[in-house]
């Protein structure tokens, strides 16, 4: 399923990296520890986190992730959004909790 379809169905707000919305999502990963995300997320995964700092873009780039969903409307640093836009890594936001978003992604067929 394309990231753009997920964004539309879940009413996610695109904050950066619009050029990457055609990415195919191959699975998902939820977690806030960067070292865990680096080890546990895989190429094409959609990462769900509360983090909004610059290092999330580095992890997404390193792991070749399809995108990042920041939950609970947590603030996302401007330098993070700028770097994501530069690298074409979509960052999407939602007021929902990580638990709620992951449940909805699972129902849509996004699995690990």
> In the predicted model, is pLDDT for residue 112 greater than 90?
no
| Model confidence, pTM | 0.97
List the domain range (segments joined by +) for residue 12: 3-107
> In the predicted model, is pLDDT for residue 30 greater than 90?
yes
Q: Is 112 domain-assigned?
A: no
* CATH number reported for the structural domain that contains residue 77 in this entry: 3.40.1390.20
CB 90 within 8 A of CB 14: yes
Domain count along the chain = 1
Q: Which residues contact 62 (CB under 8 A, 6 or more apart)?
A: 38
> In the predicted model, is pLDDT for residue 16 greater than 90?
yes
């Amino acid at each position: 399923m394309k990231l753009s379809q997920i964004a539309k169905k879940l009413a996610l707000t695109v904050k950066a990296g619009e050029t990457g919305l055609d990415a195919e999502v191959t699975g998902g990963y939820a977690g806030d520890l960067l070292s865990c995300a680096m080890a546990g997320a895989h190429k094409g995964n959609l990462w769900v986190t509360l983090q909004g700092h610059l290092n999330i873009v580095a992890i997404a780039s390193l792991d070749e992730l399809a995108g990042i969903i920041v939950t609970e409307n947590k603030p996302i640093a401007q330098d993070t959004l700028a770097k994501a836009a530069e690298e074409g890594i979509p960052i999407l936001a939602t007021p929902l909790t990580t638990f709620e978003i992951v449940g909805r992604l699972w129902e849509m067929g996004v699995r690990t």
